[in-house]
Amino acid sequence: MSYSSNADIEQVILPSTRDLGGFSVRRALPAAMRQMVGPFVFLDSFGPVRFGAGEGIDTRPHPHIGLSTLTYLLEGELLHRDSESYVQSITPGEVNLMIAGAGIVHSERTPEHIRKDGGRLSGLQSWIALPKRSEATAPLFQHIGAGELPTVNGEGINMKLLAGSLHGRRSPATTFSDLFSAEIQLEARARYRIDGEHIERAIFVVSGAIEIVGQDGTHGPDRLIVFKPGAEIVVKASKPARFLAFGGEPLPEKRFIRWNFVATDQDRIRHAADLWRERQFPGVPGDDEFIPLPDNFN
């Protein structure tokens, strides 16, 4: 669902929801009425979910091209493995950034020490399209600890900059175009300004309720609010709230998205699909399961 709102709000989008075997995933981007915000082509919110003893998440090895993935957890722990031989767990407050570029294969699973007794998991994952000049860059993985991320605290605001630049601060996450991604928590009645330093901007409400000062309405969890370029945005928490703010300069070329592949040229996607079908992508050391192409991929 997508609908236009007033003055400075361009769209409000209700994500589609998918049940992956008892694991709820809400996809805010791409949506029917909105494909991208800045270079961001994909935004999933997952959980919260509780797993019993012996249970967990098992995202088997799968390929990517032409993008970076940014994973941020709110609860729990995941273990990342990829074809570049990186093995890295992620816990709340940390960032896992994977640059697929020319091609990478990775898996994400619940670590054995969590799976043994069970636990909770929730978080956010974004896909960031690479500029055309960087689509075939060498794959890379980067883990950023919670203490390495720039923060702003005070007056009821707790902001953590996950990637890009905002308010004169820059995250150590490797980026290839103008963008920002920040987790923001507000106490009740606190206000946070998102100025116009980036052309396209949006927020995804994780919890609580927020208002946009000067606009009608209150926005609760699982709403993606896209703002008009140039608008000065002030977010006010109706009650304690948590949201992701993100955006940047839009990329000039159209992006094609098929399965886990993103590219400016559909031939690159077809080539990647052929390589995966023929098992020509590199494998993930220590994780040799295989996910076939979707039945409708042609």
Render pLDDT for 162-202 as a digit per residue (tens, 0 to 9).
Answer: 999 999 999 999 999 999 999 999 999 999 999 889 999 99
pLDDT value, residue 276: 97
Which of the four pLDDT bands, split at 50, 70 and 90, describes residue 21? Answer: low
Which of the four pLDDT bands, split at 50, 70 and 90, describes residue 24? Answer: confident
Each residue of 48-96: pLDDT tens digit?
A: 999 999 999 999 999 999 999 999 999 999 999 999 999 999 999 999 9
Cite the DSSP H helix spans in the chain: 112-115, 266-277
What average pLDDT score do residues 274-281 get? 96
pLDDT value, residue 144: 98
141 is written with which tokens? 């993985």
74 is written with which tokens? 């709110």
pLDDT value, residue 68: 98
- Cα separation, 147 vs 137, whole angstroms: 28
Residue carrying the six token digits 């091609």: 103
pLDDT value, residue 236: 97
- Cα separation, 201 vs 247, whole angstroms: 4
- Comparison of pLDDT for 21 and 8, the residue scoring more: 8
Nearest to 131 by CA among 234, 262, 276: 262
289 is written with which tokens? 């399961």
Give the least confident one: 205-209, 254-258, 292-296: 292-296
If one counts every other C-beta atom within 10 angstroms of the C-beta of residue 170, the result is 13
Residue 2 has pLDDT above 70, yes or no: no
What is this structure's pTM? Answer: 0.95
CB-based contact 60:110 (threshold 8 Å): no
Nearest to 85 by CA among 292, 294, 296, 284: 284
Mean of all residue pLDDT scores within the chain: 94
Nearest to 183 by CA among 202, 158, 207, 164: 158
Dihedral over Cα of 98, 266, 287, 117: its sign: positive
- Cα separation, 191 vs 187, whole angstroms: 9
Residue 222 has pLDDT above 80, yes or no: yes
